Amino acid sequence: MKLCYFFLFSLLFSGCRCVDPWVNSSIRSVYPGSDMAKLVHLPSSPSSGILFELVRHCDDIEAYLNVYALTIPFYQNNPSKAQLICRAGNYTLCFIVDRLQGGQRLHLSKTVLKELLSFFKKHDEVWIETGYYSQKLQVTLFEKHYKRLYRKPLRYMPEKLVTFEIY
């Protein structure tokens, strides 16, 4: 009977764990100046969510928003621009950002990224909206992941992992 309760509680608690939507990845190059890292916030839904992406190459960070279903409507008859709205509590920020070729990817300028990062520091949840899409970003864990974006990735040296002996 105790074993039955143990499995029941194990199942209950394993189903309640919080999934972190932030994902870090990195690539270390042979040339230190060519290291790359990426931080993404996964979309809540592939059809209506937005993938938030930060890409670091050397010390330069670029930010993108990606959607997967329909193209993002352009802003005021300008096919190279789109509107981005960020909401948290009673605060709203509106930006005009670059809409990349294909219409499913937006590039955030350095100024917009700086404003957005300071907005993240002031709030726990931020909603971003553009066109038909909206996404809630869980920014409580963002700072930890953002710091990892600047860390140098581990360097694996395959030549030290594999050895051959000739007889």
* Residue-range domain boundaries for the chain: 18-154
Q: Which helix (H) or strand (E) holds 111?
A: helix 110-122
Number of H helices, E strands in the chain: 4, 9
* Integer Cα distance of 67 and 43 in angstroms: 9
Residue 112 CB contacts under 8 Å (≥ 6 apart), including other chains: 63, 84, 95, 97
Please work out, in degrees rounded to the nearest 5, the angle formed at the alpha carbon of residue 35 by the alpha carbons of 32 and 37. Answer: 155
The pLDDT tens digits of the residues spanning 3-59 come to 444 444 444 444 545 588 899 888 877 776 778 889 999 998 888 899 999 999 877
Tokens 């809409």, residue located: 99
Given this model, what pLDDT does residue 42 score? Answer: 92
Reported pTM: 0.78
